[in-house]
Amino acid sequence: MLSPLKKVLAAAASVAALTALALPHTALARSGSAARGVRFGAPVKVTPSPGFGYEPGVVVDPYGNIFATAHKENWQLVVGPDPNSPTFTRSMSWDWVSVDGGKTFVDIPGLTPASVEQHEFGDEGDMAVDDANHLYFVDTNVTDITFTSWTVTGNGLDKITLDQTRPILPSIQPVDDRPWVVAHGDGHVFYFANFGNKTYDGGRYTVYQSYDGGATFNVQGTPLPDSGWCRPAADHTPGSKYVYAFCTNDNGTLYSYVSADDGATFARYTVGSYNANDGSSSWPTMQVAKDGSVYAMYVDANSVDGNGVPVTNKVRLFHSVDHGKTWTEQDVTPVTGRYEYAWISVFGTSKLGMGTYYRPDNNSPWKVYGAIWKFGNTPKLVSLDDANPVAGADHSDAPGDFMSSSFGPDGKLSVVWTRIVMEIPGTASLERDIYYARSL
């Protein structure tokens, strides 16, 4: 989780080594694409050559449009190649849409031939759709974020219209790291700003609220005290004013932050503890089900070695039926091994899905998996691209800093992930691609 400045410096040092050998892949006899009736389609490369990226996110709107975003590769950070842009370049993070069920991805339609919104510098982005079918995109530029929104009226590129884009929110805090955004209702948008540490307002995250589709924001923000790594969610139940965040506190405690007044104020509840010695500790993920119950997932370390690297992990699923005040927990670890960046999704009230990186032990390469299961059961992993590991056995972590999954209106699960293509072994990843697959 490097700062944007450090990424740029690291990128400059890495460009000279672009001729390094590509990451070796291990081919297997079969793809393992079926389990308990769940099948996924063939993976689709999303990053357009010669562009690269990592940290992918995905959301699917009620019309079946699939939106995705990703961090540009570090050495392409300031200006990167984009063959789908009118200028063939971009400065903002990647933002794509597929209107054909994930077969192809293109840039989200813009307002002008000069693609002004694509040239507002952005480092890390996130997307959300409200209940009036507005798409929101926040993209950090280190000191603030760019903010862009579209209105969607159906399935198809001609049904997506850019409403606004601007280079600052503004937020009052001096540094904006990895951003999150959630939304519900008609134009109720919540930007969760990460300061990167707890020296600002006593927690990593502060919430900035808009109730007019992002035309204006509360620039003062509402801090989440003692928050560490967080992931928010908004309740899409008609008329609901519940907004949530599920967080670590960096020191072994899991919290839920609950707003019953549409993000204006938050109450904090202790959910449980986690292994604070886990050097790979990352964001929990969470979703609100159709019945208003809340699901959250956290990948915990059972034990770690002397460097803080987990030996094995536990995938922990939490469920709350009283708006995040109390939680029940289930161990949903499919099989023994290493997990990272598992991302929970919910369809209806109890159909669950996830994408995750997994390897059986620390001597094996990392691969990408998906799963769909019924709440109360244990998921079974489905390999999404078995012939192509995402990272070699020499990597203590999967490609950072997360992957993503999302159910569409048809109940099909979309998963996006990162695969290392070229690297300086033990030093830096030079080229990473984003891939997509959907359940059949």
- Give 130-164 pLDDT, tens digit per residue: 999 999 999 998 889 999 999 999 999 999 999 99
**Residue 251 burial by CB count (10 A; 0-12/13-18/19+): exposed, middle or buried?**
exposed
Answer whether residue 348 shows pLDDT above 60: yes
Residue 64 CA to residue 99 CA, distance in Å, equals: 7
- Cα 8-368-118 angle, rounded to 5 deg: 40
Long-range contacts of 308-317 (CB under 8 A, 24+ apart): 308/277, 308/278, 308/279, 308/280, 309/279, 309/280, 309/362, 309/396, 310/278, 310/280, 310/338, 311/362, 312/336, 312/337, 312/338, 313/337, 313/338, 313/339, 313/340, 315/339, 315/342, 315/356, 317/344, 317/352
Taken in order of first residue, the domains within the chain and their CATH numbers are 4-434 (2.120.10.70)
- The structure tokens listed for 368 are 């990408």
Answer whether residue 296 shows pLDDT above 90: yes
> Pick from 229, 278, 271: which is nearest to 253 by CA?
271
- Share the mean pLDDT of the chain: 91
> What is the per-residue DSSP string for 225-254?
TT--SEEEEE--STT---EEEEEE-SSSEE
- Give 27-44 pLDDT, tens digit per residue: 222 334 444 558 999 999
Residue 211 CA to residue 234 CA, distance in Å, equals: 14
Let me know: does 256 contact 327? Beta carbons within 8 Å: yes
The model's pTM: 0.91
Task: Output DSSP code: residue 211.
Answer: S
Task: Output DSSP code: residue 278.
Answer: -
Give the DSSP H or E segment for 328. strand 328-331
- Give 245-289 pLDDT, tens digit per residue: 999 999 999 999 999 999 999 999 999 999 999 999 999 999 999
Answer whether residue 382 shows pLDDT above 70: yes
Strand partners, 295: 287, 319
